[in-house]
Amino acid sequence: MTDVLYLSPEEIESLSMRVLRHHGLDEAHAGAITRVVLAGQRDDCQSHGVYRILDCVRTIRAGKVKVAARPGLQDGAGVVVRVDADFGFAPLAFERGLDPLTDLARRQGIGALVIRHCVHFSALWPEVEALTARGLVALALTPSHAWVAPAGGRRPALGTNPIAFGWPRAGKDPYVFDFATSAIARGDLELHRRSGQSLPAGCGVDAQGQPSTDPLAVMAGAMLTFGGHKGSALSTMVELMAGALIGDWLSSESLDYDAGAGASPCHGELILAFDPAMFGDPAEASARAEMLFGAIESQGARLPSQRRYAARARSRERGIAVPGALYREIQALAPKA
């Protein structure tokens, strides 16, 4: 790819803030979104980087997000912190709940952050990394739109339903994974469509339930879970834990609310935080974890997120890579000088 720009974080931040403010978001919401998409682009996560600014604008124009939302902490009970996102974008709601969740985990050993009524478009790894940076183990779950057929089915009933986990490592990048329970993330499917590329086999079926590698055909049919019945079961767990359990929408209800607008999903999110010091000897836990990681890497195997961390280092050295065509598309949404 030759049409690539290498930008500073400040240049990306400026563009994102101008576009988002121009489309009605206040400083707090625009800043929280910008921090998320900047992190994604810095780590070469093209499906969750600045490309997501286009999603945000589309969702605003469709009237499926409350631009003046005021996410607020609600009275919690026990080990639960609750934030009502007020049908606004999720990043600011997470930031509002981060400190109370951290305090709760350190006091009780475990804490749960329930975010309800949020419009969610971002990856989950920035959220679990925010917790591992504080020395906490983290797990995050969220539904999406019902784009995915269950194992043995051919009609959408589940979301892409990502799961993310983070384990802090002293003096090293944390162990983090973040993956959709669908065979391909929805953002990656969209990027295949935009570039005219075929999907890998096994990602979806067309409207007749036949296997297809055509992104448009899969969008008209259904995506598939990874690993057959195993991914389907995990996806169902996400619906139950981050939907039914917390009193928020399933992916099917999010899609009904969208009503064909093509906006980002609206639902809830569940984030769990654990303080290793409250479960046992944290030094012993860390030593055992490093023993496991060493056994993996000594075979030449890669820990998850190592590609992201390498991209992060490259971005610090040369600037953050942004496809030129995408940059110009976003720039066209900014106010004219």
Cα 267 to the chain's mean position, in Å?
Answer: 13
Which of 23, 43, 47, 84 is the catalytic position? Answer: 47
Strands of the sheet containing 80-89, edge to edge, are 72-74, 80-89, 110-119, 266-274, 137-141, 163-167, 175-179
Q: Is 48 part of the annotated catalytic residue set?
A: yes
CA pair distance 92, 83, nearest whole angstrom: 10
Q: Is 188 part of the annotated catalytic residue set?
A: yes
66 within 8 A of 266, measured Cβ to Cβ: no
Environment class of 63 (CB within 10 Å of its CB; exposed 0-12, middle 13-18, buried 19+): exposed
CA pair distance 113, 106, nearest whole angstrom: 14
Look up residue 144 and give its DSSP letter. -
Q: Look at residues 94, 131, 132 and name the one whose alpha carbon lies nearest to residue 114.
A: 94
Which of 23, 29, 43, 48 is the catalytic position? Answer: 48
CA atoms within 13 A on the CB side of 284: 5
128 Cβ neighbours under 8 A, 6+ residues apart: 138, 139, 140, 164, 165, 166, 174, 176, 178, 271
Q: Is 120 part of the annotated catalytic residue set?
A: no
Q: How many residues does the chain have?
A: 337
CA pair distance 110, 101, nearest whole angstrom: 9
Which of 43, 55, 178, 188 is the catalytic position? Answer: 188
Phi, psi (5° rounding) for residue 246? -95, 5
* Positions marked catalytic: 47-48, 188
